[in-house]
């Protein structure tokens, strides 16, 4: 089983990214032949600063490796190091109906949030289809917001097979990632860079303390039971604490006699301890910059070997070369 997943280098990762996508990807690398890529081509629709994009790409690579991505158990590469993606995207675009793209909600959502309307943004699902199809992917784990794009990929693959021969492209299957209860931000909304309410994956200790101790709470007196429904403290604690410690905090909320400040201290300690091994590993990787270059170069070589085979098959079928 071949698994394909990508992550955009849109800035420093936060714990919502980790529990929403990365944690699942790290588990999947043990289930099959996993291909994970840094989607820097896609990031060009919103980042127009070359130095910034390179920095984001490197940070993402370091963070993923620090959290346990094993290059020996998966193929990890930078999308732009495999130009076959863009050639296949053009070929796919020649059979992709305009109406199919016009129905994609992602384009409407992003332009509504102020991202400039461009051909790249509009044709984003075609490049995503190429990302998936060029590796003959069997399984594509995605969040619910990306489900439509995998469905578009399936539709495009069917169009290609109808036009140029059954079996030309493998039809992938989406695996809808049931997000770990929506990770709340510091203000109680879903954690998102656009809301400015994130806790970075490798937040500096002083900043982490300031953010957690500043989580808004109600005015329930110390001696009174605290409401558990909708508590950001509890929701974040559940992600990083043991089940026994989480149950204990629930009981303490309901019993009363403990103030929110104490609960925040517990959250800070659990958050620090949970990510401590990853923080240590990250420091080792940063101290050896050639390691990241080696991993991405080796991953690109492996990815291109597979991508070339698929593209050769497609080029032959459509009459190119």
pLDDT recorded at residue 20:
79
Is 170 a residue of the active site? no
Q: Based on the fold, state whether residues 16 and 107 are members of the same structural domain.
A: yes
Distance (Å, whole) CA 63 – CA 286 = 10
CA distance 262 to 28: 37
Flag whether 187 is in a domain: no
Same domain for 123 and 36, yes or no, is: yes
Examine residue 195 and state whether it is found in any structural domain, yes or no.
no
- In tens, the pLDDT along 80-105 reads 999 999 999 999 999 999 999 988 88
CA distances (Å), 91 to each of 39, 96, 121, 141, 209, in order? 19, 9, 18, 24, 51
Q: What percent of the chain has pLDDT over 90?
A: 78
Helix (H, G, I), strand (E, B) or coil at 71: coil
3-state DSSP call for residue 49?
A: coil
Residue 196 maps to a domain = no
**258 lies in some domain:** yes
Give yes or no: 265 in active site.
no
Does the residue 65 lie in any domain? yes
Q: Which of 147, 170, 193, 265 is catalytic?
A: 193
Q: Give the total number of structural domains in the chain.
A: 2
Q: pLDDT, tens digit, for every residue of 124-141?
A: 999 999 999 999 999 998
pLDDT at position 284, please? 97
Are residues 44 and 175 both part of a single domain?
Answer: yes
CA dist., res. 67 & res. 188, Å (int): 26
Report how far residue 23's alpha carbon sits from residue 314's, in angstroms, rounded to the nearest whole number: 34
Cα separation of 61 and 73, whole Å?
Answer: 16
Residue 71 in any domain: the answer is: yes
- Give the burial class of 226: count Cβ atoms within 10 A of its Cβ; 0-12 exposed, 13-18 middle, 19 or more buried: buried
Same-domain pairing of 142 and 9: yes
The tens digit of pLDDT for each residue in 158-175 reads: 999 999 999 999 999 988
Of 22-26, 39-43, 211-215, the poorest mean pLDDT is in 22-26
Alpha carbons 49 and 56: distance in angstroms, whole number:
11
Q: Please indicate, yes or no, whether residues 21 and 152 belong to a single structural domain of this protein.
A: yes
What gap in Å lies between CA 107 and CA 252, rounded to an integer?
A: 46
* 271 and 234 both lie in a single domain: yes
Q: What is the pLDDT of residue 179?
A: 52
> Is residue 281 helix, strand or coil?
helix
Is residue 108 flagged as an active site residue?
no
Residue 180 pLDDT > 80, yes or no?
A: no
pLDDT tens for each residue of 268-308: 999 999 999 999 999 999 999 999 999 999 999 999 999 99
pLDDT-derived band at 188 (thresholds 50, 70, 90) equals confident
**Do both 10 and 105 map to the same domain?**
yes
Q: What pLDDT score was predicted for residue 265?
A: 97
Which residues sit opposite 229 in a β-bridge? none
Residues 21, 122 share a domain: yes
pLDDT digits 0-9 by tens, 191-213: 888 788 999 999 999 999 999 99
Determine, yes or no, domain membership for 301. yes
Q: What is the CATH number of the domain that holds 214?
A: 1.10.240.10
Report the pLDDT value the prediction gives residue 116, as an integer from 0 to 100. Answer: 83
Average pLDDT, the chain: 93
In CATH, what number is assigned to the domain containing residue 125? 3.40.50.620
In this structure, the answer to whether residues 90 and 220 fall within a common structural domain is no
**Shared-domain flag, residues 133 and 167:** yes
**pLDDT band, very low/low/confident/very high, at 6 (cuts 50, 70, 90):** very high
Domain co-membership, 100 together with 244: no
Query: Is 193 within a domain?
Result: no
Q: Of these residues, 73, 110, 170, 209, which one is catalytic? A: 110
pLDDT over 70, % of the chain: 98
Do 279 and 293 share a domain, yes or no? no
What is the token pair recorded at 203? 């937040």
Work out whether the CA dihedral 245, 249, 252, 258 comes out positive or negative: positive
Q: Which of 147, 190, 209, 302 is catalytic?
A: 190
Domain residues for the domain of 235 are 202-283
Judged against a pLDDT cut of 70, whether residue 181 lies above it is answered with no
- Those residues with Cβ within 8 angstroms of residue 283's Cβ, 6 or more apart along the chain or in another chain: none
């Amino acid at each position: 089983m071949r698994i394909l997943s990508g992550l955009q280098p849109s800035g420093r990762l936060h714990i919502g990214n980790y529990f929403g996508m990365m944690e699942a990807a790290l588990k999947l690398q043990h289930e099959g032949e996993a291909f994970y890529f840094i989607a820097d081509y896609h990031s060009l629709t919103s980042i127009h600063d070359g130095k910034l994009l390179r920095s984001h790409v490197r940070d993402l690579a370091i963070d993923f490796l620090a959290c346990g991505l094993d290059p020996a158990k998966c193929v990890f590469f930078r999308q732009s190091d495999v130009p076959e993606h863009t050639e296949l995207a053009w070929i796919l675009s020649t059979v992709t109906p305009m109406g199919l793209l016009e129905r994609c909600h992602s384009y409407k959502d992003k332009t509504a949030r102020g991202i400039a309307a461009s051909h790249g943004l509009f044709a984003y699902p075609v490049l995503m289809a190429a990302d998936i199809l060029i590796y003959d992917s069997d399984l594509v784990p995605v969040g619910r917001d990306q489900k439509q794009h995998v469905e578009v990929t399936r539709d495009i693959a069917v169009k290609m097979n109808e036009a140029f021969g059954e079996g030309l492209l493998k039809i992938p299957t989406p695996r809808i990632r049931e997000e770990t209860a929506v990770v709340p931000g510091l203000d109680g909304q879903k954690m998102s860079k656009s809301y400015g309410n994130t806790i970075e994956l490798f937040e500096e200790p002083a900043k982490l303390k300031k953010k957690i101790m500043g989580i808004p709470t109600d005015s329930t007196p110390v001696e009174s039971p605290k409401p558990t429904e909708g508590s950001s403290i509890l929701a974040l604690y559940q992600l990083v604490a043991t089940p026994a410690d989480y149950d204990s905090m629930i009981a303490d909320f309901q019993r009363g006699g403990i103030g929110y400040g104490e609960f925040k201290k517990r959250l800070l300690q659990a958050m620090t301890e949970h990510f401590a091994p990853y923080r240590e590993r990250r420091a080792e990787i940063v101290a050896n910059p050639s390691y990241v270059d080696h991993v991405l170069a080796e991953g690109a070589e492996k990815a291109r070997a597979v991508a070339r085979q698929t593209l050769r098959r497609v080029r032959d079928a459509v009459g190119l070369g």
